[in-house]
Amino acid sequence: MYQTTPDTISDEAISQFKQRGFIKIPGVISKEEATHFHDAALEASARVDQGRDRPVFSQHVNVWREDETMRALTLHKNVGGVAQRLAGVPMRLWHDHILIKQPNNQVATEFHQDQPYWPHAHSPNALSAWIALCDVPVERGCMSFIAGSHRHSDLTAQNLLDGRDLFGKCPDLEYEERVTLPLKAGDCTFHHARCAHMAVPNQTDRPRVAHVVIFMDQTTTYVEKNHVVTDPLDLQEGQRIEGELFPAV
């Protein structure tokens, strides 16, 4: 049913992911599932945005805890299974988010690494699945990645709205290969949590609808740092982030 599964993913794909920090995996969910989750994602985000001005970029974190339909995508066996094969170690859910770029928006998500934003230690293999729920050609705001950038583990968090910030912090990355990966509905890119990535604006007249599921090592421990997911929890520095809010793959 799926073009790529944990059993069929090639060693070549896994080693490319390890080397470059990202990979495109076609058909991680079916076209029918993509359409079903596309509509559910738009409905879930309209519920949350109700009464607010429509933002250029909407981000809804941990939808899986509130929306039965989206929960099935976040906990989708094929997505988690492929993520765990790429990571090569036991993983658990960190969080999910629906990322919608409204039609004709002018705002890029500038180059950044994800991990510096997270209150984590002992999670060297964390990675994100960015699942296209509609066709995402370059003009609709697909992702680009900097090959090998996941090896930079010492950078402080980069400003998502400042296209120069990452390169100011790490000038070498300006000369590394950049890869832009348009996706069809149901395709997915996986990127390592320290792989620098960006997404161009959506210049089309349809929303760009993506669902991102983020996985962390089962060994991940808490480091004191503000984060929307862990702020409501009473975690102590050094404690494992685990339990029913962070289900194992």
Q: Which two tokens stand for residue 166?
A: 């990452």
Site for ligand SIN in 28-87 (CB under 6 A): none
Please give the torsion angle defined by the CA atoms of residues 62, 67, 72 and 73, in that order, rounded to the nearest 10 degrees.
-50
CB count in 10 Å sphere of residue 41: 26
Q: Please, what sign has the CA dihedral across residues 71, 73, 76, 79?
A: negative
Where would I find the H helices in 23-101? 31-49, 68-74, 77-87
Question: What is the nearest approach in angstroms of ligand SIN to the Cβ of residue 156?
Answer: 17
Instruction: Output 105 or 230, the one with its CB closest to ligand SIN.
Output: 105
Which region among 13-21, 111-119, 148-156, 223-231 touches Ni ion (by CB under 5 A)?
111-119
Out of 78, 84, 109, 189, name the contact with ligand SIN by CB under 6 A.
109
Instruction: Output 78 or 128, the one with its CB closest to ligand SIN.
Output: 128
* Whole-angstrom Cα Rg for the chain: 17
Out of 33, 96, 110, 114, name the contact with Ni ion by CB under 5 A.
114
Please provide residue 181's backbone torsions phi and psi, each rounded to the nearest 5 degrees: -125, 90
Site for ligand SIN in 142-201 (CB under 6 A): 197, 199
Interaction site with Ni ion (CB under 5 A) = 114
Residues that bind ligand SIN (CB under 6 A): 99, 109, 128, 197, 199, 210, 212
